[in-house]
Amino acid sequence: MSTLAVRNRYFDDLFNTPDLAWMGQNTNHIPAHPAVTEAMVASITKGEYNAYAPPLGFEDLRAAIVEDFGVTGLEALVTEGGVNALSLVCRARAKPGTTLVTTDPTWKWPCLFATQQGAEVVQTPIYGPETDYKLTPGMLREYIDDRCAIVYLVDPNNPLGVTYSAEEIAEFAAIARENGALLVHDCTYRDFAEGHTPAVSVDTENCICTFSFSKWLGLAGMRIGGLLARPELIAEFAAVSTSVLGGSVVAQRGALAGLRVKSEWMAEVRRIDRANKVKIKEAAEALGMSVPVWPSHGNFLVIETAATGVTPEAIVEAARLDGVMIRQGAYHTEAFGDRFIKVSTTVPEAWADKLASKLATYVETARGLTDVPALF
């Protein structure tokens, strides 16, 4: 069986696990705002899914996205998830002889997209207290040169949860411009961060922001995200899109409804998220494990596992056997993946309670596991 087939079966098994606690993919499982559900149900009831959406997205949704970012003079391109937006950027800009510069850890898929286009991926190691687990302007200058086509910055970083100040973002944008590179600011988790600064707010000419409705609004399975940029860049990226018939009509109706209630919705989401983080952190530290980035500005926590004497993979498998899905660090980084597990926290409080109360049990179960299957 191919690796892809094994991976597909792995996630199919997870999906068919009754009452599974999804706590490994940063997805949001807090029950949806009624306005969002109503908008999507109304769209289905009217049979809107029988027709194609506009190729760039519904105009009212595009305008609402621009307003949500608080910028002017830019446009939004709605895509099938934030990952699709990033694939467009790589398809347009990553070429043989160019580089994509990012961090380690980072989100892995844009690295794959760039490699598929023949570009080289250059990663700056940020996992450690010596850099406060963050990219610094000095580090970026060390790793970038005139071959760079894309500087890819996930902010807040997935999986670490660090975020960057307005001054740091401005410096990154300037360094990218000096080297003829585009700064791609992945803002998937910005709604969980304190004081987040979108790069397009400091440089509209040479920066773009990508975004997703998967995490803050809980529409992961609906596949809706996009990118925000000046009109000329939107045209460039749309020209290489394979989604020429638009994204999901139903998802776009839900996304627009979500933006209209965002302030109310996120206040409750963040309250639950913060409470879940505290109880999980306390449970981990009681076992001698540590949370290196606190507070996390994403809807997740990195938990270092070295003190347990067992591998992250074994703990992940022990949790899975009890109906809890968490993630091993190796999903994010080959260099540092043996150090940590990642736990998502925008989940029902009962799920977080279960993980916190049973984490010690999972560690003990992990000690006795001799055959951990492939994890993804």
Q: What is the DSSP string of 36-71?
A: HHHHHHHHHHTTGGGSPPPTT--HHHHHHHHHHHT-
Q: What is the DSSP string of 153-214?
A: EESS-TTT-----HHHHHHHHHHHHHTT-EEEEE-TTGGGSSS---GGGT-SSSEEEEEESS
Q: Which two tokens stand for residue 179?
A: 């080297």
Phi, psi for 200 (deg, rounded to 5): -65, -15
CA distance 184 to 301: 24
Residue 229 has pLDDT above 90, yes or no: yes
Q: Are the beta carbons of 101 and 126 closer than 8 angstroms?
A: no
Give the pLDDT score at 213.
Answer: 98
What integer is the mean pLDDT of 163-168?
98
User: Which of 331, 311, 330 lies closest to 371 in space, CA to CA?
Assistant: 311
CA distance 110 to 119: 11
Q: Which two tokens stand for residue 173?
A: 């944008």
What integer is the mean pLDDT of 229-252?
96
Neighbours of 59 (CB within 10 A): 10
Q: How confident is the model at residue 2 (pLDDT cuts 50, 70, 90)?
A: confident
User: Which of 117, 125, 126, 171 lies closest to 149 in space, CA to CA?
Assistant: 117
Give the pLDDT score at 155.
Answer: 98
Residue 1 has pLDDT above 90, yes or no: no
Give the pLDDT score at 131.
Answer: 93
Helices (H), the chain: 3-15, 34-45, 59-69, 82-93, 108-116, 137-143, 166-178, 231-238, 249-260, 262-286, 312-321, 349-367
User: Which of 134, 136, 87 lies closest to 108 in space, CA to CA?
Assistant: 87
Q: Are the beta carbons of 298 and 189 closer than 8 angstroms?
A: yes
Q: Which two tokens stand for residue 104?
A: 């380690």
Q: Which two tokens stand for residue 313?
A: 């993979």
Query: What are the pLDDT digits (tens) for 289-343?
Result: 999 999 999 999 999 999 999 999 999 999 999 999 999 999 999 999 999 999 9
Would you state the torsion angle of the CA atoms of residues 158, 355, 284, 127, taken in this order, to the nearest 10 degrees? -10
Which residues have a Cβ under 8 Å from the Cβ of 342 and sit 6 or more positions away? Answer: 24, 159, 300, 301, 302, 303, 326, 327, 328, 329, 331, 332
Longest dimension (CA), the chain: 59
Give the pLDDT score at 147.
Answer: 98
Residue written as token pair 């938990």:
303
Query: What are the pLDDT digits (tens) for 263-276?
Result: 999 999 999 999 99
0.95 exceeded by the pTM?
Answer: yes
What integer is the mean pLDDT of 126-148?
97
Half-sphere exposure of 42 (CA within 13 A, CB side): 10
What integer is the mean pLDDT of 222-238?
98
Within its chain, how far is the Cα of 177 from the centroid? 25
Give the pLDDT score at 25.
Answer: 97
Query: What are the pLDDT digits (tens) for 10-63?
Result: 999 999 999 999 999 999 999 999 999 999 999 999 999 999 999 999 999 999
Q: Interior CA angle at 217 toward 215 and 221, to 5°?
A: 70
Neighbours of 268 (CB within 10 A): 11
